[in-house]
Structure 1
Amino acid sequence: MLKEIRPAILILVLLTAITGLAYPLAMTAIAGVIFPKQAQGSLIERDGKVVGSALIGQEFKDDKYFHGRPSATTAPDPADSTKTVPAPYNAANSGGSNLGPTSKALDDRVKEDVEKLKAENPKADVPIDLVTTSASGLDPDISPDAALFQVPRVAKARNMPEDRVRALVNENTQGRLAGLLGEPRVNVLALNLALDAAASK
């Protein structure tokens, strides 16, 4: 019986070492060489200081910045650890709201958001991604339409010509991957940093 068990244990140890140690370490090393920026989290720096990641959204509330999608992420309630409180873009707790299409809470929240956005830009249709959360709650991108919708507010808050702000949106719009996959998108953090840089000139 020991003859049958010994090879099985040897194969188990060998495959564990290969698939659990050697392969992950090799892939990490290869990724670090071929894609060093992505392997480190696609961090974005300004003046030598990390200000965020191109892969994780941030909450921007100030009128002079472009805003991302709503985020449904939560955090433990400091007053009662059995409950949660809203914590937009909480990277430690990625997730959607779990509210279904028949949810009154979701319907009320979307209607309220649409009203606020309509007051900001009454002539334009509100892009869907400005009132809906992503599955992760951490989406760093918005559609070009969502960015262009916000141009009048941002331009007014910064006292910049709308054409200049619109040009920044166009400069920061990324196309489909390989011309086929996904949708055109604008990284909100990158756009806001470009906006700060343009305003300081």
Structure 2
Amino acid sequence: MLKEIRPALALVVLLTLITGLVYPLAMTGLAQVLFPRQAQGSLIERDGKVIGSELIGQAFTSDRYFHGRPSATLGPDPNDPSKTVPTPYNAVNSGASNLGPTNKALVERVQGDLKHLKAENGSAAVPIDLVTTSSSGLDPHISPEAALYQVPRVARARGVPEEQVRQMVDELIEGRQLGLIGEPRVNVLALNLALDRTSTQP
């Protein structure tokens, strides 16, 4: 019996070392050499300080900034660790809300968001990605339509011409990958950083 068990155990140990140690270390090393910036998280710095990542959205609430998609990620309730509370763009707990289209909480949240968005730009149709969450809850991008929808609010809050803000959006639109994959998009953090570089009004 030992004769049959020994090769099985040796194979388990060997495969564990290969797939659990050698392969991950090799891939990590290759990533660090070939794509060092991406391997470190595609971090964005300003004045020598890391302020975010190109890959993870942030919650911007001021009228002076473009807002990203709603985020359904959760985190521990500081008052009761056995419960969770909404913590937008929580990279530790990536995921969607799993609420169905007839769920009362989801319907009320979307209706509230629509009412707020219509108040800031009632003349235009609200782009769907401004009221729906992504499957990860961390999406750092919005559609060009969602960015352009917010131009009047941002321009008004910053006291700059709408055309100037609209031109900035146009310049930061990212096309489809390889011209085929995905949809055109705008990175919200990159857009807000560009705004701050060109507008100093408090």
Q: TM-score, normalised by structure 2?
A: 0.94
Q: Does residue 31 of structure 1 match 2:31?
A: yes
**1:80 Cα deviation (Å)?**
2.4
Tell me if 1:156 matches 2:156: yes
Q: Counterparts of 1:147 and 1:157 in 2: how far apart (Å)?
A: 15
* Offset from partner CA, 1:57-96 (integer Å, 9 cap, x none): 1000000000001111222222223322222122222222
Q: Give the secondary structure class of the aligned counterpart of 2:169.
A: helix
Whole-angstrom distance in 2 between the partners of 1:88 and 1:6: 50
Give the equivalent residue in structure 1 for 2:140: 140
Which range is displaced more, 156-165 or 85-94? 85-94
Q: Distance in 1 between matches of 2:82 and 2:19?
A: 39
Aligned equivalents of 1:108 and 1:27: distance in 2? 45
Give, in whole Å, the separation in 2 of the partners of 1:118 and 1:94: 29
CA distance in 2, matches of 1:73, 1:15: 35
* Aligned residue identity for 2:82: T
Q: Which amino acid aligns with 1:9?
A: L
Range moving further from structure 2, 8-17 or 149-158? 8-17
> In the TM superposition, what is the alpha-carbon distance from 1:139 to its structure 2 partner?
0.9
Please give the TM-score of this superposition, normalised by the length of structure 1.
0.94
Instruction: Give the CA deviation at 1:197.
Output: 0.7
Partner of residue 165, structure 2: 165
Distance 1:84 1:175 in 2: 37
Mean Cα displacement is larger for which, 43-52 or 16-25? 16-25
CA distance in 2, matches of 1:181, 1:28: 26
User: What is the DSSP-based 3-state SS (H/G/I as helix, E as strand, rest coil) of the residue aligned with 2:64?
Assistant: coil
CA pair 126-27 structure 1, distance change in 2 beyond 3 A: same
Corresponding residue for residue 183 of structure 1: 183
Q: Match of 1:51, as an amino acid?
A: I
The Cα of 1:9 is off from its aligned counterpart by 2.8
1:128-161 superposed Cα distances (whole Å, 9 cap, x missing partner)? 0001111111111100000000000001111111
2:96 counterpart residue number: 96
Measured after TM superposition, the shift of residue 200 of structure 1 is: 4.2
SS at match of 2:29: helix
Shift of 1:46: 0.9
Count residues with an aligned counterpart: 201
